[in-house]
Amino acid sequence: MISGCKTFGVLLFVTVTFGSALNAQQAQTGRDLILQLGCNTCHGGLEAAGQAIIRERAPDLSQAGRIYEPGYLLDYLQSPKPVRSNIGASRMPDFGFSEAEALAVTLFLQQQTAVESQGTPAAPVTLSDAERKRLEKQFERARKAHPNVNAELGRAIVRAQNCMACHRIDGVAPWPRSMAPDLAQVAERRPEPWLRAYLKQPHAVRPFGFFPGSGSRMPDFRLTDEEVEHLMTYFKHLSRAAASKVAEPAPLSPFAMKKARALLRDKLSCLGCHRLGERGGRIGPDLSSLAARITPGYLQQIVRDPQQAMPGTIMPKIRMFPVHEKTADLIIRFLWQQREPQQPQSYFSLVDFPPVLPEGGSRAERLYKTYCAICHGVSGNGDGYNARFLPKTPVVFASTGYMATRPDDTLFDGIFSGGYILNKSPMMPPWGETLSVEDMRKLVQYLRRLCQCQGPAWSRDGRR
């Protein structure tokens, strides 16, 4: 009997050791795949930050206009196909470009006519006469169908998708920071079935970019089932607290569910950015039937401290009520329990809504583009891409007549505490827990630039 126990113990030890070694090997394979695909050039939280094998394999596009025919580029951008077989797992992903979006990028690349290549030279593509004629006709038809599409829009799309993370293009720099969610703890934040399905077939989670308005997309790398499993093992390896389990939020009574829904509808700003059923904005992820797409622990983290839970997000921390913790608990339990049907969600058109990148200009301008332009519009005309999903038109900051009646203190209060404090739309979020006092003052000054006006005279008499 004792001998049998020893034998079983040895077998168990060998099995566990072999399993651990296999998982470690799969995790290493997943890490190598990350580097070959270039995931770490957009996402934060991954090992070997800054390394990207793909950048040495992807062609330098500074010569694209001299090497590639426009018809070929237009077709390839809409449906990328393997061109080279000697670059390992590296590949061109599918960004889901429409014909108009692909045309804009094609027109931009046609302007790239550098004589020498600084990186991997672009290889000419051999086309048959019949194929060349077909692609030429396709290109000319697209030009006629989209006369307003131009190379400048193409440049904006190239920047929005961070094509320079993989390719070199003269005069176009990569994004200076991560432009997609931090993946260090993605295995803790997402249920395995959801994450596995998403890797296999990505879809729009944030309809117009991780930085709202930027238009960035998660492309489809056409991963095999084996590659998905390697990535899943790697993400589990990255997760620092995978063993910790957070219990599901306790269910609410029907009365408490109605109370939470009323808070979301009438007082909190959540639905200014998030969709719930048919109602809500299109900035952040859809909240409908959330329990299938998020873990209980991550839901609690993101509601209580968004910046800590998701580095880089603009989602504000909200402390609108003295009983904040009770309100947060109520909303967490409601979101976990509600079963609103999730509506189909797709990325917004990069042609109908040109990307707005929060870069360049003054600190105040960058703040405005990051936090305000999404709804209020780049020029302050109340026409940001998210405005059409709100029940009330956002304040038109460019309106001199209206803005001249608003003291600077009132504008500051609206930024700090949100629209609800001023009897405006509660969907305007409060930024007081997210931005510094100095940054909020800069925003007030920038709003004055948009309206080209000052507040009422009585508010500028120098007295307090």
Given this model, what pLDDT does residue 241 score? 52
Say if residue 7's pLDDT is above 60: no
Which pLDDT band holds residue 235 (cuts at 50, 70, 90)?
Answer: very high
Cα–Cα dist 411/381, whole Å: 16
pLDDT above 90 as % of the chain? 76
Task: Tell me the backbone φ, ψ of residue 186, rounded to 5 degrees.
Answer: -65, -30
pLDDT above 70 as % of the chain? 91
| Structural contact between residues 342 and 201, judged by C-beta atoms closer than 8 angstroms | no
As given in the structure block, the two tokens for residue 142 are 């697209």
Report the sign of the C-alpha dihedral through residues 122, 127, 132, 135, in that order.
negative
Given this model, what pLDDT does residue 21 score? 64
Out of 9-18, 90-99, 398-407, least confident range: 9-18
Given this model, what pLDDT does residue 175 score? 82
Q: Nearest 5°: CA angle at 202, between 198 and 203?
A: 110
Token look-up 């957009």 returns 42
> Rounded mean pLDDT of the chain?
90
Out of 183-192, 236-245, 350-359, least confident range: 236-245
Which pLDDT band holds residue 4 (cuts at 50, 70, 90)?
Answer: low
Q: What is the mean pLDDT of residues 303-312?
A: 90
End-to-end Cα separation, the chain, in angstroms = 89
Cα–Cα dist 397/378, whole Å: 10
Phi-psi group of 147: left, alpha or beta (phi > 0 → left; psi -120 to 50 → alpha; rest → beta): alpha
Which pLDDT band holds residue 49 (cuts at 50, 70, 90)?
Answer: low
Beta bridge partners of 180: 43
Beta bridge partners of 279: 276
Say if residue 242's pLDDT is above 60: no
As given in the structure block, the two tokens for residue 300 are 């609690």
This prediction's pTM: 0.90
| Structural contact between residues 38 and 54, judged by C-beta atoms closer than 8 angstroms | yes
User: Hey, what domains does the chain have and what are their CATH numbers?
Assistant: 363-460 (1.10.760.10)
Closest CA to 234 of 397, 368, 33, 88: 33
